[in-house]
Amino acid sequence: MTTAADGGDELRLELHGITKVYPSVIANEDVSLSVKRGEIHAVLGENGAGKSTLMKMIYGVAKPDAGEMKWEGEVVHVENPAHARSLGIGMVFQHFSLFETLTVVENVALALPDNPDLNQLAEQITEVSTRYGLPVDPQRLVHALSVGERQRVEIIRCLLQNPKLLIMDEPTSVLTPQAVRKLFDTLRQLAAEGCSILYISHKLDEIQELCHVATVLRDGKVTGECIPAEETPKSMASLMIGKELPIPEHTAPSEPGEVRLQLNRLCKVSDDPFGTELQDIELEVRSGEILGIAGVSGNGQQELLYALSGEEPINDADAIVICGRASGRDQPDRRRSSGMGFVPEERLGRGAVPRMSLTENALLTAHQAGMLKRGMIQFDKISAFARKCIDDFNVKCGGEEHAANSLSGGNLQKFIMGREILLAPKLLVVAQPTWGVDVGAAAFIRQELIDLRSEGAAILVISEELEELFEISDRIAVIAEGRLSPAKKLSATNIDEIGVWMSGMWDQSAVAETAHD
């Protein structure tokens, strides 16, 4: 995969000296790149390197302060996304831009220039979705879709407009290995048809497999351009982060200690008509181990997490036992005082309040750690806590007084992780620990989780990234259609087996086998 598809050297997009300055930070400085017709061009960089800003300027969401953009040889000023779409530029955002109260087909219709017939459009969606292996029901409401499914809608929405340039911002973070392969087939097919693709990612293996050319950004500047097939992941990583990629050290598992989390035939009917019903979930997480739960998104992970966190308590108190206490009916703060920490999938708006400062966001869950005195907030203590969190977990930010929504996704995740870890939980439940986080930060977060478990915490990680689970877990289980498979020791299984289990097929022999472990 080193040569672009037929179409010669015709340049579709050229950027020259693009600079974008925000009041507090230079997002892009003198960035130049060019994309040929039918080329899959990777833009590689850590969080905050300026990838998303650059793409937003191409798509007309932001305007460059300096520099020039040429589209098919002519200088253009993209006024807004509608203008970009009329030029033939489509973009799939990392943070989705869908209306939650509308159906899939209505959301797609909104992005189209004129008023399409919804029934006809629904058929088109079904057609595109089967063709590209992106199954989604056009009549479902978006709020009922999982993250993975929402992304499919975004991709389909772009594909329906037959773009000449497709920008994809971290597209594979929520897809199964099979779906990633299908997506790559789709993208290759599109490129062969002459569509250019700008592929933003930090996953080096994917870029090597898929992309013809890569432009590497660091701190808003281009630090290199390379042909991924001729590089090693190591060499690309060093271009990207300026040093060698840290690899988590997985110390040998200690003897598992006491049971910190026990689920006894946990059942839960979802309030959501499109939700997944949890059926008889049995699980044990012990001190000193990381239990990973794999699964394709939308198979009950959200329901399980809401039940575990206490955001949706259940009637049967004994179904969830946290550090020896029957906690099914407890609210989240009560569970926290039992020793549980929780990192949710959504960082902005759930794990953190977007408009509040990091200090105030620390208070969100740290208030039980001596931050209050007769109901009054001890501001000096809480800001010291926030500062420690920023320092210990390398959170890149303007300071603890800056708002949570001024941080990049990865840095906010580090902050939330840090906040929960600094509270020294006996049990930590983490959803998608490194979703949309760059390699450097992801490796850091994984290392922190491993260290925390080595210090004796029990950790439950629910993730849709299999490689991640295999990197950090001691035992692994799979959730499919609201049922949980038995957990297997990592040494006793492999990615292929777990991949099969992800479709719900763990047979009786597997159960018998684990019983002997």
Partner 1 sequence: MIRLERRPEASQVMSYASPLIAIVLMLIGGLLLFAFLGKNPLEGFKVFFINPISDWYGVSELFLKATPLMLIAVGLAVGFRANVWNIGAEGQLIVGGIAASAVALYFHEAEGAHVLILMVIAGGIGGMLWAAIPAFLKIRFNTNEILVSLMLVYVAQLLVSWLVHGPMMDPDGFNFPQSRMFEDSALLPLLSDENRLNLAFVFALGALLAGYIFMFRSFAGFQMQVAGYAKDAARYAGFSAKRMIWIGLLSGGAMAGFAGMSEVAGPMGQLTEHVSSNYGFAAIIVAFVARLNPVGIFFASLLMALLYLGGEQAQQYMNLPSSISNVFQGMLLMFLLGSDVLINYRVCWKEARV
d(CA 23, CA 262): 49
Q: Degrees (nearest 5) of the Cα angle 367, 460, 511? A: 155
Q: How far is the CB of 120 from partner 1 (least distance, A)?
A: 35
**Closer of 163 and 344 to partner 1 (Cβ):** 344
**Closer of 56 and 414 to partner 1 (Cβ):** 56
Residues for the chain: how many in total?
517
**Closer of 300 and 351 to partner 1 (Cβ):** 351
3: left (phi over 0), alpha (psi -120 to 50) or beta: beta
Q: How far is the CB of 460 from partner 1 (least distance, A)?
A: 17
**Closer of 62 and 167 to partner 1 (Cβ):** 62
- Would the CA dihedral through 381, 385, 391, 396 be positive or negative? negative
**Closer of 136 and 352 to partner 1 (Cβ):** 352
**Closer of 120 and 331 to partner 1 (Cβ):** 331
How big is the chain by its Cα radius of gyration, in Å?
23
Q: How far is the CB of 377 from partner 1 (least distance, A)?
A: 6
Q: How far is the CB of 138 from partner 1 (least distance, A)?
A: 27
Q: How far is the CB of 78 from partner 1 (least distance, A)?
A: 11
Q: Are 443 and 247 in contact (CB under 8 A)?
A: yes
Q: Are 216 and 42 in contact (CB under 8 A)?
A: no
Q: How far is the CB of 124 from partner 1 (least distance, A)?
A: 33
Number of neighbours of residue 321 by Cβ within 10 angstroms: 19
Q: Which residues bind partner 1 (CB under 8 A)?
A: 22-24, 63, 77, 79, 309-311, 331-336, 342, 344, 346, 349-356, 360, 363-365, 367, 372, 375-377, 403, 405-406
Q: Where are the beta strands (DSSP E) in 219-305?
A: 221-226, 259-268, 278-286, 290-294
Q: Are 479 and 460 in contact (CB under 8 A)?
A: no
**Closer of 79 and 205 to partner 1 (Cβ):** 79
d(CA 201, CA 509): 40
Q: How far is the CB of 360 from partner 1 (least distance, A)?
A: 7
Q: How far is the CB of 86 from partner 1 (least distance, A)?
A: 16
d(CA 147, CA 116): 26
199: left (phi over 0), alpha (psi -120 to 50) or beta: beta
d(CA 253, CA 251): 6
**Closer of 14 and 312 to partner 1 (Cβ):** 312
End-to-end CA distance of the chain: 44
**Closer of 386 and 439 to partner 1 (Cβ):** 386
Q: How far is the CB of 355 from partner 1 (least distance, A)?
A: 5
Q: Are 55 and 91 in contact (CB under 8 A)?
A: yes
